[in-house]
Amino acid sequence: MSETLFVGTRNPDKLRELHRLLGEDVILRHPNGEGEVEETGDTLWENALLKAREGHLRSGLPTIADDTGLEVDALGGAPGVRSSRYAGEDASYEDNVRKLLEDLRGVEPPRRTARFRTVIAYVDGRRTKRFDGVLEGSILEVRRGESGFGYDPVFLPEGETRTLAEMSADEKNAISHRGRALRAFLAWWREQHRGGDEG
Q: How many CB atoms lie within 10 A of CB 108?
A: 9
The set of residues, in sequence order, having a beta carbon less than 8 Å from that of 121 and lying 6+ positions away, is: 45, 48, 49, 51, 52, 53, 64, 65, 66, 128, 129, 130
CB 64 within 8 A of CB 52: yes
Q: How many CB atoms lie within 10 A of CB 197?
A: 7
Catalytic residue flag (residue 170):
no
Q: Which residue among the candidates 66, 67, 124, 152 is catalytic per the annotation?
A: 67
Residue 158 dihedral angles phi and psi, to the nearest 5°: -55, 130
Q: How far apart are CA 100 and CA 154, in angstroms?
A: 9
Give catalytic residues, as residue numbers: 67
